[in-house]
């Protein structure tokens, strides 16, 4: 149970003053549902106002702070006309202060004639005049000394950085002084402040490196501690050895022999599952490397031993694809496969639940619905989790709790994880890698082309469709706005429909499951030739005839995500193509990233290079998918702090397994603070 000292911080965001219905949606878009979310919504920079005594055109483009006196007003005839205030500095130099929206009354109140005011804003030139549009500050001169750096926060349509800053002040007031969980000598060596002091410092000055480092370390430490507790508990528990005889696998008719990497991984899994200690293994496999076959073999090992297997997928589309694949592959074998998703209702759902309870269903595929209340297994022996990065420790523990004894656990990811980050996200697991491609899987030919040549790309798309092939056209997430994201995809689909008619389909994240599935099904059946999509197709159905993907604004994507999107084509073998459309004005880093995509299909190399190139940027493209596991620790910080955090967490667990000492109790609080508290249930004394 969460310590009472944290309750004010975990209150709903509506507990903060000044939050009405108008702010609810912007805050929801930013993921700020509680006071703690606001407290951890750190500023990314600051407004550094340049103090000036005199106006100077050389300062155009900079935010200046200067004392001005209003001398006249110029208001338009209509309510929508901008309000203009003529003002002068101490030397008599003129500047026009512009307020859009017809706010003449407000402008007069803010800037009374012949009374000096301290004004801050971006100085611009407009023809021969200097102007400041919507000054960000207008204060009486005596308040000028209170103005300093102003933190800039990531914001969304409908809420400003200033408004978030005001909410952050309230969230900080709710942040308690907490007992120290960092080992004393390490804290002294690093020169770090206390937790609350660090949080206050970073909101006051985003450039405070020590404060930012301390907060990142706290999050990494809590994560490492949770992973160690999970691993320790799993290793300590006795599970059930699943001794298999191979009869089902021997009867399986495969179109090709498994690769060496697949065979090696299957042997590792079979060896793990034969032990009484539950398997805890991560399977990393590049796009198209054959993870599904390995998972199928693991599920058959469980069935051969008389146990049930469950396969958990992050989306309904992927769950149904896995179900269809397993049904097809296992046709003719004495194995019953079923599916359970949130859409399954009535008699069909009841029949599935009965089959699980009486053991007549051997393998269940589904979404989160497979571990909800009321879903009971007769003998769950293996859990396979696909797309591991979309599930937390809590979800995995819930599914494992459905078994009489801890089941074996295999988690898979198609997002290659750099070796330097494996410890951060999967420190409790043994790791297998599929580093070979099955026969017939050719490298995807990738081109980087300027968006100025869009007309040529569309012409090429026409020739591609004319040859009987299909294509994806991906529009990116823009400014983290679902509305803009959807509008961009709808506009592109409409433009392509003018050229290709009803051959164009559209799928996006705001569509409901059945509607989305219907569009994907039409594309998979070849009824549409082009699927315009947002990033929802990162994980989707296999369409062997889709051999071209065009990705707009490719420089806005993480490399790992580009690689996953590229992997949507080439599923049927043969030559496939990926076109990365780039905008103008790319940074050197963006050029290097796109060049890497052009030059290699090796997802593991791409992941390593992505980390090097992006540094403190997005981890594994999580901004696009909205699945960030770390809020305070950047990949750069992880590389710098991971070894120390791992060693400190290991030392604490070795000395105080039950977290009963003063420092152990403080560490418990850290687990709750950083929402790794699923691990608290695993604590044992001694």
Longest dimension (CA), the chain: 94
Confidence of residue 394 (pLDDT cuts 50, 70, 90): low
How many whole angstroms separate alpha carbon 347 and alpha carbon 357?
A: 15
pLDDT digits (tens, 9 = 90+) for 20-75: 878 888 898 888 999 999 999 999 888 878 889 999 999 998 889 999 999 999 88
Helix (H, G, I), strand (E, B) or coil at 623: helix
Nearest to 682 by CA among 307, 234, 68, 213: 234
pLDDT band at 427 (very low <50, low <70, confident <90, very high): low
Rounded to 5°, the CA angle 610-615-619 comes to 60
Asked if 380 contacts 402 with a C-beta cutoff of 8 angstroms, the reply is yes
Interval 143-157: pLDDT, tens: 877 666 778 898 887
Mean pLDDT is lowest, of 364-368, 400-404, 492-496, for 400-404
Residue 490 has pLDDT above 50, yes or no: yes
Using one digit for the tens of pLDDT, what is the confidence trace for 660-671?
A: 999 999 999 999
For the ranges 142-156, 188-202, 486-500, the lowest mean pLDDT is seen at: 142-156
pLDDT value for 381:
94
Look up residue 455 and give its two tokens: 């007309």
Strands 137-139 and 116-126: antiparallel
For residue 443, the SS3 value is coil
Q: Using the CB atoms, write b or e for 190-210: b if 16+ within 10 Å.
A: eebbebeebbbbbbbbbebee
Alpha helices of 252-336 — where are they, by DSSP H?
Answer: 260-273, 291-304, 316-329
Q: Give the span between the Cα atoms of 278 and 371, in whole angstroms.
A: 19
Look at the block and give the residue holding tokens 């120290």.
180
Nearest to 411 by CA among 306, 313, 273, 267: 313
| Alpha carbon separation from 421 to 143, 416, 565, 619 (Å, rounded) | 48, 10, 22, 9
In this structure, the strands spanning 63-75 and 50-51 are parallel
User: Per-residue confidence at 254, pLDDT binned at 50, 70, 90?
Assistant: confident
For 31, phi then psi, to 5°, come to 75, 25
User: Residues with Cβ < 8 Å from 617, sequence gap 6 or more?
Assistant: 558, 634, 635
pLDDT average, residue stretch 495-520: 87
pLDDT at 130: 95
Q: What percent of the chain has pLDDT over 70?
A: 87
Tell me, yes or no, if the pTM score tops 0.85.
Answer: no
- List the beta bridge partners of residue 383: 310, 409
Output the pLDDT for position 108. 87
- From the list 123, 111, 8, 1, the residue with the least C-alpha distance to 54 is 123
Q: Are strands 408-413 and 530-533 parallel, antiparallel or unpaired?
A: unpaired
**pLDDT of res. 523:** 92
What whole-number distance in Å separates Cα of residue 44 and Cα of residue 41? 9
Beta-carbon contacts of residue 30 (< 8 Å; ≥ 6 apart): 41, 154, 155, 156, 159
- In the prediction, which pLDDT does 420 show? 54
Among 222-231, 302-311, 354-363, the range scoring the smallest mean pLDDT is 222-231
Q: pLDDT of 625-637, one tens digit each?
A: 333 468 898 877 8
- Residues comprising the chain, all counted: 686
* pLDDT tens figures, 64-89: 999 999 999 988 767 677 889 999 99
The rounded distance, in Å, linking the Cα atoms of 215 and 40 is 9
| Torsions phi, psi for 467 (to 5 deg) | -85, 0
Q: Which residues pair with 472 in a beta bridge?
A: 531, 549
Calpha distance 204→192 (Å, rounded): 16
Token pair recorded at residue 508? 């996006």
Can you tell me the distance from the alpha carbon of 318 to that of 87, in angstroms, rounded to the nearest whole number? 62
DSSP notation for 659-672: --SHHHHHHHHHHH
Percent of the residues in the chain that have a pLDDT greater than 90, as a whole number: 46
> How many Å separate Cα 495 from the centre of its chain?
30
Q: How far is Cα 488 from Cα 628, in angstroms, rounded to an integer?
A: 24
* Angstrom distance (rounded) from CA 613 to CA 607: 10
């Amino acid at each position: 149970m969460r310590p009472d000292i944290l309750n004010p911080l975990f209150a709903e965001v509506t507990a903060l003053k000044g939050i009405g219905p108008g702010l609810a949606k912007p805050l929801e878009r930013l993921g700020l549902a509680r006071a703690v979310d606001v407290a951890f919504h750190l500023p990314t920079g600051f407004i550094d106002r340049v103090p000036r005594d005199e106006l100077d055109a050389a300062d155009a483009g900079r935010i200046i702070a200067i004392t001005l006196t209003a001398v006249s007003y110029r208001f338009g005839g209509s309510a929508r006309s901008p309000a203009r205030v003529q003002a002068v500095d101490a030397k008599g130099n003129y500047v026009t202060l512009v307020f859009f929206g017809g706010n003449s009354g407000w402008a007069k109140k803010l800037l009374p004639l012949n009374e000096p005011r301290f004004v801050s804003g971006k100085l611009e030139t407009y023809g021969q005049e200097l102007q400041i549009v919507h000054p960000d500050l207008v204060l009486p001169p005596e308040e000028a000394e209170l103005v300093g750096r102003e933190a800039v926060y990531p914001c969304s349509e409908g809420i400003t950085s200033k408004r978030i800053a005001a909410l952050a002040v309230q969230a900080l007031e709710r942040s308690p002084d907490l007992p120290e969980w960092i080992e004393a000598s390490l804290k002294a060596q690093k020169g770090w402040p206390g937790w609350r002091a660090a949080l206050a410092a970073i909101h006051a000055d985003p450039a405070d490196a020590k404060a930012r480092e301390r907060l990142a370390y706290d999050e990494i430490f809590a994560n490492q501690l949770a992973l160690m507790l999970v691993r320790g508990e799993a290793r300590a528990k006795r599970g059930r050895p699943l001794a298999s005889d191979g009869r089902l696998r021997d009867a399986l008719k495969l179109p090709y022999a498994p690769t060496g990497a697949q065979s090696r991984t299957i042997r590792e899994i079979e060896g793990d599952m034969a032990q009484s200690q539950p398997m805890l293994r991560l399977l990393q496999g590049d796009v198209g490397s054959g993870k599904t076959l390995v998972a199928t073999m693991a599920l058959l090992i469980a069935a051969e031993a008389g146990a049930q297997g469950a396969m958990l997928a992050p989306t309904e589309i992927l769950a149904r694809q896995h179900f269809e694949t397993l049904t097809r592959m296992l046709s003719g074998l004495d194995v019953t496969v079923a599916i359970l998703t949130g859409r399954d209702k009535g008699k069909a759902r009841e029949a599935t639940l009965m089959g699980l309870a009486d053991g007549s269903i051997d393998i269940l595929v589904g979404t989160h619905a497979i571990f909800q209340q009321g879903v009971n297994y007769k003998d769950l022996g293996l859990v396979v989790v696909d797309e591991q990065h979309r599930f937390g420790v809590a979800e995995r523990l819930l599914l494992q709790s459905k078994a009489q004894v801890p089941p074996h656990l295999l988690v898979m990811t198609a997002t290659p994880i750099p070796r330097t980050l494996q410890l951060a996200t999967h420190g409790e697991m043994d790791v297998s890698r599929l580093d070979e491609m099955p026969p017939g899987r050719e490298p995807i030919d990738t081109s980087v082309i300027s968006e100025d040549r869009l007309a040529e790309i569309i012409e090429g798309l026409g020739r591609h469709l004319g040859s009987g092939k299909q294509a994806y056209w991906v529009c990116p997430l823009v400014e983290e706005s679902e509305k803009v994201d959807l509008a961009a995809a709808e506009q592109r689909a409409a433009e392509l429909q003018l050229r290709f008619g009803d051959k164009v389909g559209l799928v996006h994240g705001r569509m409901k499951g059945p509607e989305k599935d219907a569009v994907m099904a039409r594309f998979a059946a070849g009824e549409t030739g082009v699927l315009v999509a947002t990033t929802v197709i990162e994980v989707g159905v296999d369409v062997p005839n889709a051999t071209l993907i065009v990705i707009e604004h490719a420089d806005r994507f993480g490399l790992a995500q580009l690689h996953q999107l590229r992997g949507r084509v080439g599923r049927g073998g043969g030559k496939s193509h990926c076109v990365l459309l780039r905008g103008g004005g790319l940074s050197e880093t963006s050029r290097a990233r796109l060049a890497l995509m052009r030059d290699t299909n090796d997802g593991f190399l791409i992941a390593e290079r992505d980390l090097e190139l992006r540094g403190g940027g997005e981890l594994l493209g999580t901004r696009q998918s909205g699945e960030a596991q770390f809020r305070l620790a950047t990949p750069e910080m992880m590389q710098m702090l991971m070894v120390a955090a791992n060693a400190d967490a290991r030392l604490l667990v070795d000395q105080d397994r039950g977290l009963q000492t003063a420092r152990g109790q403080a560490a418990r609080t850290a687990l709750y603070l950083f929402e790794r508290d699923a691990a608290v249930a695993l604590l044992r004394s001694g």
